[in-house]
Structure 1
């Protein structure tokens, strides 16, 4: 199975339904609200006048939210439908942004520009078979001394849903609907890979990214898994045997 073709087709369909979903709440963004969560805003708080590359940007809400905070942004995504919608949003909001339709691995070969910040978040790396190559793309696109930042769902949650914790060469192939609240949600076939926390960190280190911080959070900022309990506003916990499990991790690093 050609995973890029399969996942591109699935994300083209998802981009159509996500754009109109209350989960993404485009009207609030158009009214001036940010799509970024308290986690990213607290940990990556100095972006003004810096160039920022957002890998796997979907239809650009987070990318454009960084632009509103002063960053000079470029968003990259596999889905041409998502990129079209990102460009529509940028035009509608009169925000300067560049959006490129490309898979992550191919982007570095075409880019001659180094960025001050490379950013990625939430539900991104599971679509990639090789994190060594992913980390090389990050390092290749960062200027010396530049910042890499990611916030991502914790792999412990995947284990509870029946997926492996450790990476396997054979992917998981699933046919399922979206995590959003849309009614017209045709199931899509998608190809994913598990990546442990250690694998993520070591891939970045080997690519020349100095790890400055690793944080774990006992909640998700999104109500996107089953049986979550909102203990504080926009902090959704998964309780296992009376304890909150880790649902998010973040990594911040510097290109050496």
Structure 2
């Protein structure tokens, strides 16, 4: 249901995420035992597009329980910092870092709102500012987000964004072939669905969430207006979960449409740099 932004949107979303942290920790979806044993959490296109992170500093905005953040540390980043507004998520991430033998100077986690990141993180500039999938839809003001993220990119560094394509929220859930919603909608989307993507049948209490749809052009424009140079915008024909009933899981673990039907972008990625 589309509606004007409710005044309690942040509190509602935080309560929802706080409640789901222990569910995610226990889920097969995140499979923390395998992650501790070395299983890769990053997607192959992210690894290729971000490139070698050896010796670099990396800030992960909206990091949840920190699997992606810690994966960059495993790949050689000299320092990673994860930020999330959920205290239980940050505490879980700190525990995972300790399990991996990563000290606070290698992997630190901060509990703060993403809009307050510039004041909350330990340093004021990072070689790489990263944000992973399922992050931007929780933010009402994409211009403010872009300004915040850009302000934390060091000279010669870059911002990297990987996200679900907003077109996917316009189409019907069953087939992904019929347009049902407005791509350019500006109102908030208020949902009350129980459970979580990591466990659809989980018994949950805090089920109200408030989200926003940000067209790709709006995101790119906001990043450019914040002073970064767009290096690329890539669209991907795969998703990380079965967004539509017609998607099929491939050998790499991605979900794609069958080969006999036309494809649409299901995800996108952006790299934007600050001149040295």
Match of 1:40 among 37, 46, 51: 46
For residues 200-221 of structure 1, what are the alpha-carbon distances to aligned partners after superposition, in whole Å with 9 as ceiling and x for unaligned? 000000001100011111111x
Would the aligned equivalents of 2:110 and 2:120 in 1 still touch at CA under 8 Å?
A: no
Measured on the aligned residues, the alpha-carbon RMSD in Å equals 1.7
Structure 2 equivalent of residue 145 of structure 1: 156
Would the aligned equivalents of 1:180 and 1:224 in 2 still touch at CA under 8 Å?
A: no
Structure 1 equivalent of residue 244 of structure 2: 226
SS, match of residue 105 in structure 1:
helix
Separation of aligned partners in 2, 1:12 and 1:163: 29
Structure 2 equivalent of residue 123 of structure 1: 134
Match of 1:186 among 204, 223, 227: 204
The structure that is strand-richer by fraction is: 1
Structure 2 equivalent of residue 83 of structure 1: 90
Would the aligned equivalents of 1:117 and 1:147 in 2 still touch at CA under 8 Å?
A: yes
Would the aligned equivalents of 1:115 and 1:141 in 2 still touch at CA under 8 Å?
A: yes
Q: Residue 3 of structure 1: CA displacement?
A: 1.1
For residues 202-248 of structure 1, what are the alpha-carbon distances to aligned partners after superposition, in whole Å with 9 as ceiling and x for unaligned? 0000001100011111111x224231212442121146982122111
SS, match of residue 273 in structure 2:
strand
Separation of aligned partners in 1, 2:219 and 2:241: 24
Match of 1:209 among 225, 228, 243: 228
Question: Which structure's CA Rg is the greater one?
Answer: 2
Structure 1 equivalent of residue 188 of structure 2: 171
Q: Residue 143 of structure 1: CA displacement?
A: 0.8
Would the aligned equivalents of 2:60 and 2:80 in 1 still touch at CA under 8 Å?
A: yes
SS, match of residue 192 in structure 2:
strand
Structure 2 equivalent of residue 103 of structure 1: 113
Please identify, of 178-187 and 37-46, the stretch whose mean Cα deviation from structure 2 is larger.
Answer: 178-187
Separation of aligned partners in 1, 2:188 and 2:166: 15
Structure 1 equivalent of residue 76 of structure 2: 70
Would the aligned equivalents of 1:219 and 1:247 in 2 still touch at CA under 8 Å?
A: yes
For residues 77-118 of structure 1, what are the alpha-carbon distances to aligned partners after superposition, in whole Å with 9 as ceiling and x for unaligned? 011110010011111111231100011101113445210100
- Structure 2 stretches lacking a partner, 5+ long: 1-5, 173-179
Is it true that 1:10 corresponds to 2:20 in the alignment?
no
Would the aligned equivalents of 1:30 and 1:93 in 2 still touch at CA under 8 Å?
A: yes
Please identify, of 21-30 and 223-232, the stretch whose mean Cα deviation from structure 2 is larger.
Answer: 223-232
Equivalent residues, number: 254
SS, match of residue 244 in structure 1:
coil
Relative to the length of structure 1, the TM-score reads 0.94
SS, match of residue 42 in structure 2:
coil
SS, match of residue 229 in structure 2:
strand
- Structure 1 stretches lacking a partner, 5+ long: none
Would the aligned equivalents of 1:54 and 1:75 in 2 still touch at CA under 8 Å?
A: yes
For residues 122-141 of structure 1, what are the alpha-carbon distances to aligned partners after superposition, in whole Å with 9 as ceiling and x for unaligned? 11000000111000111111
